Every structure is written in structure tokens, then in C-alpha cells.
Chains A and B, each alone.
Chain A
């Protein structure tokens, strides 16, 4: 028997959101027909204590450590998940999304066929415009909103880069996976309902995104993007001048482990040539 562990980090999510997510999880587990496959849910609260109105498959909550960010939170969940030797895959799942009933089936089937790939569900109704190969489903990077990480990749890469508090840790993980010879794929028949349109502009998000972009650029050797991100941080009023921006911390990854050729900084935050803009 193999286990898929689903990891969710909550951050003050409404009961309504969690109720719909848990209902979708129940439906997706009910429609999972891959033999010898168990599913469990691991949760950590980065904000207030979360309340899950509907009992979900084997749910366990880890003690909260406060707001430790996405990368550290997910790494905690992955460490706990992979302590169980039967767990061969971990699914990062955003709490503000909803799984389609056939999503887990499509993800697990693909994982069993492609055990050396990071696998990303297709966000719905607005999917990410980054390209993917229609035959191999290879894609330059995978979103962490609904992302399956095989144990073998976690063992090799050690999870997300904790220097990234929030945003772009998924781009970094994808590039590290590709640098190490793994592939990154979209699973187009695995739908993950996730609202990405109609959001109000949020300055905190814009700031985190730019700071993460700046770190990513330094780590992956792109001074042009780093300069651009710093310019935006100043021009958008987050810092008075470039010298006020905190210094970029050093990455703990061995530079030799990073293939700078996989990193694409030519298309701003698309990190690839988008199918549409």
C-alpha cells in the first residue's frame, strides 16, 4: 500500500473556504480508483487556528509555529509526510482552491507513469498561460498551488528554498528539479479550481513578489532581472532608494547544482513565453 500525503498551509482561511476544499477532497478521494493507494491530509496553521467543518480523510494537524511562510511550512509538512516510508508522493495544496472530483485520479495515475517528475494540476477556470508540450506535457516550471512532489525528488532536492518566504519558491524548485535531471509536467486533466482573476491589487503581494524575484535573480545569476526588481521596489514606493532594500541573502544551494540555462528571466514573472497575456 502506498500513501499520497496532501499538505495544506492555512492562513486565516474562512470556514467556508475550508468546507469547500474538504468537500472537494472527499469527492476526489471517492473517485480515486488507483489500486493500493491511501490518501492522508496534513495541515499546519500559519495564521489563526483553522476549523475544518467536514471531517477529511485521515487528517492530522502539526503544531503551529506562527507565520513561517510557505516554504518552511511546506517543508515541515513534507518532512512529516516522508517520515512514513509508505508515503511516495506529497501534494502541496492551496487552501483557497477546490479540487475537481477526478483531479487526484489524474495526478496519481500520471505520477505512477512519470515517477521522476514534478506534476502540476491545471488551474481552472483560468489556467496559467505558461506553455507546455502537448505530447510530453513538459513545462518550464510548475505552480505550487496544486503540485505533486515525488519522494525521490524531495530526497534529492530537500524541499523548497526557505530563503523564499512566499512566492516563486515553486519556480525555484522547478528549476532545481530540471537542473538535477528531473522533469516538470502539467497534468491537464487534473483540474484545480483556483480564483486568480478579479482579485483586488494588494501591495503586500506585490512587494513579496518583487523581493522573491530579486532573490531568485541573484541565485540564478541574472543581474538584469535583479536590477529591474530593485528598480520596481523603489519606483512602487516600497523602499526610498535601492540602498534601503535589505541585502539579498545567500542561497545554500551549491552553485554547481544549478543549471542557469533552465532559468528564463526574459518574460518577467511568467518565467517563460506565455501562450497569452
Chain B
């Protein structure tokens, strides 16, 4: 938990964008990320760049890069450094440090090699302003590029996170990359705004899990591309193809910590109500369903007799599991069964 965080006023319209920066060799990529911020239609932006093992010289270089972008008006920014032992990946600490220094009502995160489309933040903030939700997420596209003849050549773009549509899907796995959402800090308790510093991977998913178990998210913009995840040779993770072999032990360890989080996380009453636990489920889903054999019969009934879509089936299973346990681990079990079954069914 971070201490000393204040809740911004609702008169505050500033979006604080926290950028973590690990590698001085990626200044050119960072500049493109910052250029994408200078182009934003949402103009009231504060940049908080947090550098791993930054020096005064690197801080000055980054400040100069920010100043040289075509902002309308004077840019509002902070460039900060945190020191770590050699080889330590301080990604969660960098984010927390950025959160502690951010002044904006709205909060977003951006990795140094990704970028946000011009309309991205405006769409998400306007969406939040039209409801009472804590976080609005948009669609994230993935581009794949290679360094070629002095430039990054993009050879493919797709949307591998499209499978995720709702709260239930997010409880199953992460489909909301860290730069594809905006948080309204006036609707969130300061003690909930922290990244787990034990995690050096999947810290973003852990953060979302804790929030989504407690607060309402706005998923209404998932068909609107707001940002791009750039996959290239220097990424640690491939977003849709699995792992870079060098990262495998780290991610397995992170997965274990995520599973532990899912096993222990209690769903708030607000979220339980969102899942409509007390209504139609009792009619649709007979008990007990948690044994795999009964799962299959139930799903066949749902698919063939009631012609339900995949997501609706998954939703029903989630809902049922929630009602009976309130623990995410059961949901994960059910979802895996559903997806495995559906793959065979098709």
C-alpha cells in the first residue's frame, strides 16, 4: 500500500500519464511514445516519467525530449529516477513511485515503447465522465515490427486481446494491457492504488484483479482501438504467442503469485451484484456443476437448447461459481473447463 496519497478534486481534469523507463538505449522509442501524448485530443496531460537507475544526464535528456514535442502550451511533466541493485527489475516500484507523484484526477500508464492513438484518452475520460465507474478500458492493438534499414518496419497488426469482453473474462485472464485504460482517482480509495512490488511480471494484471474484485469497470469501449502494444525484439513478452524463452521462469513464478491472489481475493458485494448472482442463474444452472462430467452436460444443454454464445455460457458459469464460493479460483477452474470443452465441441 502506498502512503500519503490524496484523492484529487473533481475540478481537477488533469490526466497523469506514468511512463516507466528502463533502458537508455530506447530513447528513440520513448520519444515516439511521448510524441503520441503530445498529439492527444485530451489536452490536459501531466507526464510522470520514472527511470530505473536514472542519472542526472538521462533525466536531462528526457526532459529535453519532452520540451521538444509540439505541445499546445507548456508541457507539464516530472522526470524522476529510482535506484536499484544491478539486474533488479523495478517495474512495480517505478509505477508506484509514479503514482505517488501524479497530481491528476485521471491516471494512465504507458510503457516507453508503446503509444496511444490521438483520440484514446479523450474517449476513455469522456466515457468515465458519463458513468460512475472507476476504470474505462479500450481496445489495444498489437503491432509486430523488426529493425530494418534504420527504422522499425511494422509487418503485422492484429487484436489478440479481443477475446476479453467483460468482468468475467478479466477474472479469467488479462485482456487489458496497462496502457489501454484510464482510472478516475476520485472514485477509488487511495489504499487500493498500488502495484505489488513482489511481482516483476504480471504486476499489471494483479493490480487489475484487485480493482475489478472491488469496483465497477467500464467495458463499453472495447471495440474502439485506443492504443498500440508494440512487439519487437527487445520485448520481454509476446502478447499473443506466449513467452520469450528467457522470461519463462520469471513468468511461471508470476503466474503462481497471480493464482495465489485469485485464491485469496474476496469479491465485493458491488461486483457480486454486477454478476447478478441472485437472479436467473438459479433457474438456468442446476447444482452441482463443478464436477467436469456435469459441466459438459450442462454446457451442451446451454449451447444446443438455448443457443447461447460462448460469452453467455461463460458468464453463467462465473455467476454460478461466484454465488457459491465468492472466490476467483473456482471461476478460473470453471472457465478453463468451458474453454476446453468448447474447443472440442467446435
Contacts and interface: CB of A to CB of B under 8 A. Distances in A.
Chains A and B come from one and the same complex = yes
A126 B154 CA distance: 11
9 contacts: A24-B70, A27-B70, A98-B70, A101-B70, A124-B36, A125-B39, A195-B39, A198-B117, A276-B156
Interface stretch (B92-100, B143-151, B202-210, B275-283): B143-151
Interface of A: 16, 19-20, 23-24, 27, 31, 98-101, 124-127, 129, 134-135, 137, 188-189, 191, 193, 195, 197-198, 275-276
Interface string B56-72: 00000000000011111
Given A24-B70, A27-B68, A134-B149, 18 more contacts: A23-B71, A23-B72, A27-B69, A101-B69, A124-B32, A124-B39, A125-B36, A125-B115, A126-B117, A126-B228, A127-B154, A134-B148, A137-B149, A188-B153, A189-B151, A191-B32, A198-B226, A276-B156
Given A189-B150, A275-B155, A275-B156, A125 B117 contact: yes
Question: Could you say which of A19, A124, A198 has the most chain B C-beta atoms within 10 Å of its C-beta?
Answer: A198
B12 interface: no
Contact of A197 (B69, B156, B158, B225): B225
Contacts of A197: 117-119, 225
A31 B65 CA distance: 13
B72 A20 contact: yes
A216 B39 CA distance: 33
A125 to B, nearest CB: 5
B35 interface: yes
Listed from nearest, the 5 A-B pairs whose CB atoms lie closest are A198-B119, A24-B70, A195-B118, A188-B151, A276-B157
Contacts, number: 79
B291 to A, nearest CB: 44
Interface in B135-183: 148-158
A140 to B, nearest CB: 16
B224 interface: yes
Given A134-B148, A134-B149, A124 B154 contact: no
A126 B224 CA distance: 14
B116 interface: yes
B68 A195 contact: no
Contacts of A101: 68-70
Given A188-B151, A188-B153, A276-B156, A16 B70 contact: no
B213 interface: no
Contacts of B69: 27, 101
Contact of B116 (A31, A125, A135, A137): A125
Contacts of B148: 134-135
B113 to A, nearest CB: 12
Contacts of B150: 189
Contacts of A20: 70, 72
A24 B346 CA distance: 53
Contact of B149 (A31, A135, A198): A135
B48 interface: no
Interface in B99-134: 115-120, 123
B11 to A, nearest CB: 22
Contacts of B118: 125, 193, 195, 197-198
